[in-house]
Structure 1
Amino acid sequence: MDLDSGTLRAFVTVADEGHFGRAAERLVISQQAISKRINRLESQLGVSLFDRSLRNVRITETGRRLLPLARQAVDTADALAVEAARNAGPLRIDVLDDHLSSMLIARGVAQRGDVVVEARTRTDHHDALEALRTTDVDIALGRAGAVTGPWPADLRRRVVLLEPIRLLVGARHPLAGRDAVPMADLRDARLWFPMTGAPREWIDLVDELCADFGLTVDRTGSTLGLEYFLGRLADDPGLGTLFGGAMAAPGPGLAVVPIVDPVPVFAWWAMWRRRVPDSRVQAVQDAASRLYGVPLEAAGDTWMPAADRARL
């Protein structure tokens, strides 16, 4: 008997989700297609794997007995794909946005010289889950908290960088000479960060930060390019913005001031499917570790969106 790994994967996924529709979404196929795969597998085995008489499908006793073997077969197929892909072909990293510190992580991997890196941005995707399931991306960088609902069983995640969010102001700004500025002192500050074209994960973080601490951020307009954006900050002694602490220094005429009490952070996760070799995930971790970040053991003393903290 020749069993197809696709039908076995459909069996395992429906068993995990307890629902044909959710299983189809996870495998990025139609519900009709996944039903056909289950029917084909049941026909090949000569058994019934699911009781479909209820609103949510329920695995039968026979299906429960066969599930560990099917899961082992799927894991073996995935391990075969991982081994075949080891150090072969480019590493496709979704960096969320090419102006963020995630691009520095991708560059750090590329500088190793042992793997070709292709950087992608997920401007058309709401979160990493969609990027991983609907494109050829290997590893997505971003906020794990932006993935709603229970964490998908087919995806893995790891915090690679807790990047402190800092205040960026012109050299003539009243806060420019401070060693640090408490969060409470920003309530009356003029903050500007144009959100036109900004990633959803950053917009949601800023929304929650403002709500938690009573900050006001002017989101109107566009940066019109980094040079114009930084120039406007340098020219206006009353204007400030939020800036990633792991990013390169912005240049003369500007000052980066740490924010404290608490330190706000953008938690960068690497998220990937099981087929990605561990060595490539470790390369991303190593590159992120060379950037400035808050130690993971100090995460309890920082601020981050509640959904991100729940993923730690």
Structure 2
Amino acid sequence: MDLEAVRTFVAVVDSGQFQKAAADLSITQQAVSKRVAALERDLGVRLFTRTPRGAEPTVDGQAFLPHARELLRVAERAAASVRTGRRPLRVDVINSRGAASGLMRGFHRAHPGIDLDVVMLFDIDAALAALRSGTVDASFRAVAVPGRPLPDDIESVRVLDEPLQLLTGPAHALAGARSLTVAQLAGHRIWMPGIVPGTEWAAYYDDLVAEFGLTIEASGPNFGSDALLDTVADTPALATFMGEYTRLVWPAGHGLRRIPVTGPTPVYPHSLLWHRDNPHPALTTLRAHLTAGPAGHGAAGTWVPDWVAPR
């Protein structure tokens, strides 16, 4: 559909006159008439009735008007989405309940005037491709996978180390503990069906298993966090890892326990990644916001894999 014809139709409705619409659009009255006539041919209906006072929309014109306005709003949003300095800041987070989403909510509260688009890409390869193409402006990731360093044109800064907690049902052997050492988890089944080989989080948990002799099972389909919580609540032999800042809600009858892990505390390293040539003006504001407070990583008594960048 010709958007200029739609824009002209809306202008005639708003002004009530073809001549006034022509002046508002800085075109001739003949051009207004031609655009309206072309739109009427496309739609197969008459849109206006000529009156002594000017032009009034027909019943069909009245029905088409709200859709015409929405077409113009969508077109404006589409154009604004790619205008440098005007489109929203696009940020990739791993999931909607995790620590990265919490960081972005905090950023939005601190800077409500900055438009945001929050997206969720699958893994670091998808994130890097999106950063390099400009599809997203920033991404929260664990920085790298062993043997696959970041490309030279991608910058990163480590912004948060998220402590892992053990999540158990009420009948689990460890459910009554106020805290647990990593050594105490050895021999217990830790179920994490969301682990996908080749991802940065799979590399993290592979190293965690190798370092502390844990048993992590990724068997079975991943039906999402609600199904995971249901299974852990009902299965005394299973537990799972959750980040301390992961937002979870479960039915009161589940009786789930979130237990801190110490000695050392495994932490998941969240870093912000961006392309070094990205021109979005809000990207600098986001980096400054995330790094303004005390260092959120590298605390004594914590553990991360050797491949995690210290910066």
Aligned to 2:266: 264
1:205-239: CA deviation from partner (whole Å, max 9, x where unpaired): 11111111111111111231322211111112221
Aligned to 1:122: 121
User: CA separation in 2, counterparts of 1:263 and 1:191?
Assistant: 16
Aligned to 1:178: 177
Aligned residues of 2:189 and 2:238 also touching (Cα < 8 A)? yes
User: CA separation in 2, counterparts of 1:196 and 1:123?
Assistant: 12
**1:103 counterpart SS class:** helix
Gaps of 5+ in 2: 1-82
1:301 aligns to 2:301 (yes or no): yes
Aligned to 2:31: none
Work out the percentage of aligned pairs sharing the same amino acid.
Answer: 29
Larger Rg: 2
Aligned to 1:193: 192
Aligned to 2:104: 106
Alignment equivalent of 2:88, drawn from 84, 87, 90: 90
User: CA separation in 2, counterparts of 1:277 and 1:243?
Assistant: 33
User: CA separation in 2, counterparts of 1:225 and 1:236?
Assistant: 17
**2:271 counterpart SS class:** strand
User: Which structure 2 residues correspond to residues 24-63 of structure 1 after superposition, within 5 A?
Assistant: none
Aligned to 2:132: 133
Aligned to 2:53: none
User: What TM-score does the superposition give when structure 2 sets the normalisation length?
Assistant: 0.63
User: Which structure 2 residues correspond to residues 206-225 of structure 1 after superposition, within 5 A?
Assistant: 206-225=205-224
**2:144 counterpart SS class:** helix
Aligned to 2:286: 283
Question: CA 1:175–1:190 in structure 2 vs 1: closer, same or farther (change >3 Å)?
Answer: same
1:98-147: CA deviation from partner (whole Å, max 9, x where unpaired): 45322222333334421222122222652643331135110011011338
Question: CA 1:288–1:240 in structure 2 vs 1: closer, same or farther (change >3 Å)?
Answer: farther
User: What TM-score does the superposition give when structure 1 sets the normalisation length?
Assistant: 0.62
1:235-285: CA deviation from partner (whole Å, max 9, x where unpaired): 122210010111124443111111111110111011112335575344366
1:228 aligns to 2:227 (yes or no): yes
User: CA separation in 1, counterparts of 2:265 and 2:272?
Assistant: 22
Bigger drift between 98-107 and 174-183 goes to: 98-107
Question: CA 1:285–1:166 in structure 2 vs 1: closer, same or farther (change >3 Å)?
Answer: farther
Amino acid at match of 2:268: F
Alpha-carbon distance, 1:159 to partner: 1.2
Aligned residues of 1:105 and 1:288 also touching (Cα < 8 A)? no
User: CA separation in 1, counterparts of 2:124 and 2:298?
Assistant: 31
**What is the alpha-carbon root mean square deviation over aligned residues?**
3.0
User: CA separation in 2, counterparts of 1:197 and 1:145?
Assistant: 15
Aligned to 2:142: 143
User: CA separation in 2, counterparts of 1:285 and 1:147?
Assistant: 28
Question: CA 1:140–1:105 in structure 2 vs 1: closer, same or farther (change >3 Å)?
Answer: same
1:30-58: CA deviation from partner (whole Å, max 9, x where unpaired): xxxxxxxxxxxxxxxxxxxxxxxxxxxxx
Question: CA 1:173–1:278 in structure 2 vs 1: closer, same or farther (change >3 Å)?
Answer: farther
Amino acid at match of 1:272: W
Alpha-carbon distance, 1:153 to partner: 4.1
Alpha-carbon distance, 1:151 to partner: 5.0
User: CA separation in 1, counterparts of 2:191 and 2:149?
Assistant: 34
Aligned to 1:44: none
Question: CA 1:94–1:198 in structure 2 vs 1: closer, same or farther (change >3 Å)?
Answer: farther
1:163-192: CA deviation from partner (whole Å, max 9, x where unpaired): 111101112322222221010111111110
Question: CA 1:149–1:264 in structure 2 vs 1: closer, same or farther (change >3 Å)?
Answer: same
User: CA separation in 2, counterparts of 1:233 and 1:301?
Assistant: 28
User: CA separation in 2, counterparts of 1:285 and 1:208?
Assistant: 31
Number of corresponding residues: 224
